[in-house]
Amino acid sequence: METQLPDDFRCPISLEIMSDPVILPSGHTFDRVSIQRWLDSGHRTCPITKLPLPEHPCLIPNHALRSLISNYTLVSPSKLQPCPQPQILISSLTSQSSHVGTKLNSLTHLVRLTKHDSGFRRKLTELGAAPGVLKCVDSDDPSLQEKALSLLLNLSLDDDNKVGLVAEGAINRVIKVLRFGSPDCRAIAATIITSLAVVEVNKATIGAYPDAIQALVWLLISGKGREKKEAATALYAICSFADNRRRAIDCGAVPILISLLDSGLERAIEVLGLLVKCKEGREEMMKVNGSVKVLVSVLRNGSSRGVQYGLFTLNCLCNCCERLCFEAINEGVVEICMGLMEEENEKIRRYTSSLVQTLRENHAFG
């Protein structure tokens, strides 16, 4: 289906069919996920025109284009490959007589159909697909579980589905996978947490589950590269809710994140940038030997986004502890700051200025 859709339906960044098209102030349309990733990386220019954008660009939903993409298959049925009716595919997931192979085939069809089509995702939810999908997530068969998780992730991409999936019991299933699933399944499960946490009310709900944050922290310790990155991303998503920061700190996240940051997982600095906002987080960071050295290393070698969070985190710590100011000076932070004052990124310049001011107020340098 994707290859038959007009090129105008594709995001200029990802070149994939857009599921949530939004209009940039420059007038060009992009898929929300792709342009948000572009902006989060520190870019403040339009990817197409290269013209400057506001510091906080407004992303306006392109409802007309989204509707066109969703309805295109209805007006062009001849261009589609034959596929079983959605209700038949859903029924096979819950039927006692369905073999694993049948369920796997149905899930494969549904994953493909829901990957780029938000209208089809909504239709599946309205048809009551969630219980069948979640039942397959509970499967002991790794292949079936992985495919069911992929479908659950696709369904969670629509904001209208996020609260309903949590209400259907998705979180308990996902937490179990985080603990006992295969590496690929654990990575997808963490990504589902990130997706569901886009809706504010879900952040509180997820954090309230006794083992949710603990499972993500455990994955930071025991997981491989992709699992660690997705777990850190999920923690970042849910820790924008203040109560979850304390829960993550109580689960021992701070020293683990600093260790991962030292090992090159830059996503860890984003989580630390949230945890440092509460007193408990700052106290834990002060206890970790070498934390200042690791943060200064991010300022020296990190990406634009990493440097922003590194500056903010280090400034918060130095504001609370004169000893850390002198540690930062000894690690060469002043020289780094002098260079960062010339950065094009306005936020980096502002955070750099704040850090320099903090160091001066603590008499760390003249």
pLDDT of residue 56: 84
The Cα 266–Cα 278 span in angstroms is: 21
* pLDDT value at residue 363: 66
For the segment 52-81, the average pLDDT, to the nearest whole number, is 72
Token readout for 290 is 């070498």
Helices 333-340 and 304-320: crossing angle, nearest 10°?
A: 130
298-325 per-position pLDDT tens digit = 999 999 999 999 999 999 999 999 999 9
Q: How far is CA 120 from the centre of its chain?
A: 23
Class for domain 5-72, per CATH?
Answer: alpha beta
Please give the pLDDT value at position 331.
94
Task: State the pLDDT confidence band at 67, using cuts at 50, 70 and 90.
Answer: confident
Q: Which of 14-23, 73-82, 190-199 has the highest average model confidence (pLDDT)?
A: 190-199
- Asked whether residue 186 carries a pLDDT value surpassing 70, the answer given is yes
**What average pLDDT does the segment 134-156 reach?**
95
pLDDT at 160: 85
Ranked by mean pLDDT, the top range of 46-55, 93-102, 152-161, 167-176 is 167-176
Mean pLDDT of 99-122: 88
pLDDT in tens, 217-239: 999 999 999 999 999 999 999 99
Q: What is the pLDDT of residue 189?
A: 97
The burial of 155, by beta-carbon neighbours within 10 Å (0-12 exposed, 13-18 middle, 19 or more buried), is given as: buried
Q: Across the beta sheet with 21-23, what order do the strands follow?
A: 29-31, 21-23, 60-61
The pTM score is 0.76
How confident is the model at residue 243, as a pLDDT?
96
User: 51: pLDDT confidence band, cut at 50, 70 and 90?
Assistant: confident
Q: What percent of the chain has pLDDT over 90?
A: 64
Looking at residues 100-126, what average pLDDT do you find?
Answer: 88
Residue spans of the domains in the chain: they are: 5-72
By three-state DSSP, how is residue 29 classified? strand
Q: Is the pLDDT of residue 50 over 70?
A: yes
Name the range with the highest mean pLDDT among 71-75, 124-128, 131-135, 342-346.
131-135
pLDDT of residue 366: 57
Q: What is the mean pLDDT of residues 279-300?
A: 96
pLDDT at residue 197 in the model: 94
Mean pLDDT of 245-255: 97
The burial class, CB within 10 Å (0-12 / 13-18 / 19+), for 346 is exposed
- CB 62 within 8 Å of CB 23: yes
Whether the CA torsion 145, 150, 155, 158 is positive or negative: it is positive
* Average pLDDT along the chain: 89
CA 258 to the chain's CA centroid: 19
pLDDT band at 3 (very low <50, low <70, confident <90, very high): very low
pLDDT(80) > 80: no
Q: Which residues are CB-contacts of 200 (< 8 A; sequence separation ≥ 6)?
A: 241
More confident residue, 244 or 10: 244
